[in-house]
Structure 1
Amino acid sequence: MSFQAYIDNIQKKTGKSPEDFKKIAEEKGFLQNGALAVKATQVTDWLKEEFELGHGHAMAIYATLKGKTE
């Protein structure tokens, strides 16, 4: 599955875009000054619990928060 397919599936499931997740992560204090301030596990645990994402999909959002989009 391509990276974009992961993002598309996440948006279909949650109704949220990567930009929406970035805003929520900032509110939660996971992002500070545009940079991640926590480890991947904290982000993926949050996404799995709150949005019922699988590990691969949670890691795709983590990657977008880190600025990796491919």
Structure 2
Amino acid sequence: MSFQAYLDAVETKTGRTPRDLVQAAQDQGFGPGSKATPVATWLKETYGIGHGHAMAMVHVITKGEHIGDKHVGSTGTHRDSSNTLWLDGKDSRPADW
């Protein structure tokens, strides 16, 4: 599953876009520099998402929308088409993203 697919699944499960969840996390005092465990615990308890999906959101909350180039353009299971994640909702993502 690609990183973007994890975020899309979080949106499907919670009904909230990744950007909405980043804002909710900021409202809780989480952001850059936050430790992963408290953020993940909050996401799991508040939104009922699993650990892997919570950790994908932890990355976005604490490190932003950019990911490493390791899987970009690869043919593996975890491939992504871009090193920038789309946070504004899967239905609004441009077809050429």
**Structure-1-length-normalised TM-score:** 0.84
Aligned length: 66
Letter in structure 2 aligned against 1:38: S
> Residue 30 of structure 1: SS of its match in structure 2?
coil
Identity of aligned residues (%): 48
CA RMSD, Structure 1 to Structure 2 (Å): 1.3
Letter in structure 1 aligned against 2:51: H
> Residue 5 of structure 1: SS of its match in structure 2?
helix
Q: Does 2:4 match 1:4?
A: yes
* Alignment match of 1:59 (pick from 40, 55, 58): 55
Aligned equivalent of 1:29: 29
Where in structure 1 are there 5+ consecutive unaligned residues? none
Aligned equivalent of 1:48: 44
The structure 1 segments of at least 4 consecutive aligned residues displaced by more than 4 Å after TM superposition are: none
Where in structure 2 are there 5+ consecutive unaligned residues? 68-97
**Structure-2-length-normalised TM-score:** 0.62
1:24 deviates by 0.6
Aligned equivalent of 1:39: 35
More strand by share: 1
Query: Is the radius of gyration larger for structure 1 or structure 2?
Result: 2
> Residue 29 of structure 1: SS of its match in structure 2?
coil
